Amino acid sequence: MRVRSLMIENPITVSDRTSVQEAIHIMEENAIRHLPVVDNQQKLVGWVTLGDMKQGLLPAVVTGVSLADLMIREPITVNADADIEWAARIIFERKIGGLPVVNGNRKVIGVITVTDILGAFIKIMGLLSNGSRIDIDVGQEPEGFEKVSRIIHEQKGKVISVGIAPETVDRQIYYFRLEACPIEPIVTALQKAGYEVISSEA
């Protein structure tokens, strides 16, 4: 999946001449927490967040601190054709709320936020769908995933998504989300095959 498929296209932007008060008003009025700062050719020159603007509001009123003083210069950016996993990793590792999306000329063409990525993750994992879930410990068996997947299939379970817990020395846990189905026959078949079912819900 590419950033292009999730980004907010044609985002609201401001210039470095925009006042701090006006930037706050724009963000609150449009329920957004980030704004790209652009020049008159729509090229990125900075990035501001609602938190930074609110912290800078009093200094702006008292001492004349401007948006240009508060903005993040040369912010991290992402290309629209970049893999969404790469963008998610940047956001996670840098502990930031979003990224401006630019083209080869550094013109702003979009914004991708942690909310956009979380929404995509929720859809991919089928977390909002009515379904069943089963968490299975396959130990360190090399073909454990293939075997438990086959057992679920044999018991008429249809897999929507699979999550994997961080691997430990002696166990590997998989989280299977299934289309709504009777879960007990699957649990019984897995236990009969020697696998530990940590939890399940229909």
CB distance 39 to 15 below 8 Å: yes
Please give the chain's pLDDT, 202 residues, in tens.
Answer: 899 999 999 999 999 999 889 999 999 999 999 999 999 999 999 999 998 888 888 776 667 788 888 899 999 999 999 999 999 999 999 999 999 999 989 999 999 999 999 988 887 777 767 788 999 999 888 899 999 999 999 999 999 889 888 767 678 899 999 998 899 999 999 999 999 999 988 7
pTM above 0.75, yes or no: no
* Residues 39-67: tens digit of each pLDDT: 999 999 999 999 888 888 877 666 778 88
CA distance 71 to 56: 10
How far lies 74's CA from each of 16, 36, 66, 77, in Å? 13, 11, 17, 8
